[in-house]
Amino acid sequence: MFPSTFLKILELLAVACAILGVWMVAIMLKVMTQTYIIPKKETERKQPKKEKTKMSKEKGEGVTFNDIFMFMIAVPLVLLWVGFAGFVIHSGLQDDSVLDQIEGYTTLIAILGGPALLIIKDALDVWKQEQAEKTAFYKVKAQSVIDYNDSVLKQAQQIESKAQEQEHKMESKK
């Protein structure tokens, strides 16, 4: 069904994904053992370290299950789907035998594409939510600047009117 060169490329891609997966699991295990399992030495506990000021995004955030899921499953799946679809298109333009077996290729693309499209949709929804939050923040910030400028202007007008009243009182006393 598939040409032999195509199968070799798929095998190489599978090996590369497996190596990448093992590498990512090793890194996660290393981080988890350093963070949760291995206790700190007594010398580290006694010496207070200077704490750096954290930015708002850094505060209280750690590695969550969703982060691990995205990097272990979602990202490779989307990349595999896009890469395979691009490879089928490129191969179809170069070799007519690929077009003869296009049904198998499109089935495989569809199988990979279903979850990949859901992941992409969720990522875009999160991005849209962040953009909406930023927009709302900037609206509030702009309104507060407008309100501040109005209050400064009113205060300046009051100061000027009080100064004029005082000046008129001083002239009337003369």
116: nearest Cα among 86, 76, 72, 71: 76
Would the pLDDT of 96 be above 60? yes
Structural domain total, the chain: 1
The residue that leads in pLDDT, 156 or 111, is: 156
**Enclosing domain of residue 118:** 4-45+63-128
What pLDDT does residue 160 have?
A: 95
Mean pLDDT for the stretch of residues 78-101: 81
The residue that leads in pLDDT, 122 or 158, is: 158
What pLDDT does residue 115 have?
A: 84
Give the pLDDT band (50/70/90) at residue 153: very high
Please indicate, yes or no, if residue 56 is contained in any of the structural domains.
no
Structure tokens at 86: 């691009």
Please indicate, yes or no, if residue 18 is contained in any of the structural domains.
yes
Would the pLDDT of 34 be above 90? no
This prediction has a pTM of 0.44
Q: Percent of the chain beyond pLDDT 90?
A: 18
Would the pLDDT of 55 be above 50? no
Would the pLDDT of 23 be above 90? no
Mean pLDDT of the chain: 77
Please indicate, yes or no, if residue 75 is contained in any of the structural domains.
yes
Q: Which residue has the tokens 């009113």?
A: 154
Please indicate, yes or no, if residue 15 is contained in any of the structural domains.
yes
Contact by Cβ (8 Å): 22, 100: no
Cβ neighbours of residue 99 closer than 8 Å, sequence gap 6 or more: 92
What pLDDT does residue 75 have?
A: 78
Please indicate, yes or no, if residue 52 is contained in any of the structural domains.
no
